[in-house]
Amino acid sequence: MTSFLPPAERIWWNEPVGRQELIWIGIALTWCLIMFAMMPIWHVYGKQNLSTEAYQTTPAAYGARVQEMIDKYTVREEAGIPVVHPPAGSDVYMLGRLWQWWPILELEKDKSYRFHLSSMDYQHGFSLQPVNINLQVVPGYEMVINMTPDQAGEYGVVCNEYCGIGHHTMVGKIYVEDK
């Protein structure tokens, strides 16, 4: 029997369902339900799916708040990019734009931050390495993530959403200090 041919019985929907087909439906349905259950489970126990909040904003409004933090807490510069050390527990900001993650943040280990993220122009992809945390960064929306870095070191931010000719140069940095 093949599905390329018309059914032998015209009233095919009254035919009994084949055993193999029933098994396949059963397997597929079971797998669907497992995946469905995994969504909330992975959200709670997984290490990558973050609980983000999203707010509407504008590039101008968001840019102004990033600049405010930079003006207050810049401690040095690296290749023309300010390195900002905001107080532990505060709101920290990063923006994506062609083709930069701005500024470089310096955070403290085991301190909680409200990390804000938005784009100044197009869609970018925030990818934190090596921990592989990925977030979409979209202009007009501000994402807020409550985070507590638990390992000191230097983290790289790469853009993983193609955004034009300089996409591959769009790299940033977050330092986590052990104090």
Catalog residues that contact ligand CUA under the rule CB under 6 A.
96, 99, 124, 159, 161-163, 167, 170
Q: Which two tokens stand for residue 45?
A: 């126990």
Q: Which is nearer to ligand CUA, 99 or 141 (CB)?
A: 99
Q: Which is nearer to ligand CUA, 108 or 161 (CB)?
A: 161
Q: Which is nearer to ligand CUA, 97 or 116 (CB)?
A: 97
Residue 122 CB, nearest approach to ligand CUA (Å)? 7
Say how far apart CA 125 and CA 134 lie, in whole Å. Answer: 7
Residue 2 CB, nearest approach to ligand CUA (Å)? 47
Letter for the amino acid at 127? Answer: S
Q: Which is nearer to ligand CUA, 114 or 167 (CB)?
A: 167
Residue 68 CB, nearest approach to ligand CUA (Å)? 23
Residue 136 CB, nearest approach to ligand CUA (Å)? 11
Closest among 105, 59, 116 to 82, alpha carbons compared: 105
Q: Which is nearer to ligand CUA, 108 or 174 (CB)?
A: 174
Residue 113 CB, nearest approach to ligand CUA (Å)? 23
Residue 69 CB, nearest approach to ligand CUA (Å)? 21
Q: What is the secondary structure of the chain as a DSSP string?
A: --TTSPPSSSSGGGSPPPHHHHHHHHHHHHHHHHHHHHHHHHHHH-SS---EEEEE--HHHHHHHHHHHHHHHEEEEETTEEEE-PPTTSEEEEEEETTEEESEEEEETT--EEEEEEESSS-EEEEEETTTEEEEE-BTEEEEEEE---S-EEEEEEE-S--STTGGG-EEEEEEE--
Q: Which is nearer to ligand CUA, 86 or 103 (CB)?
A: 103
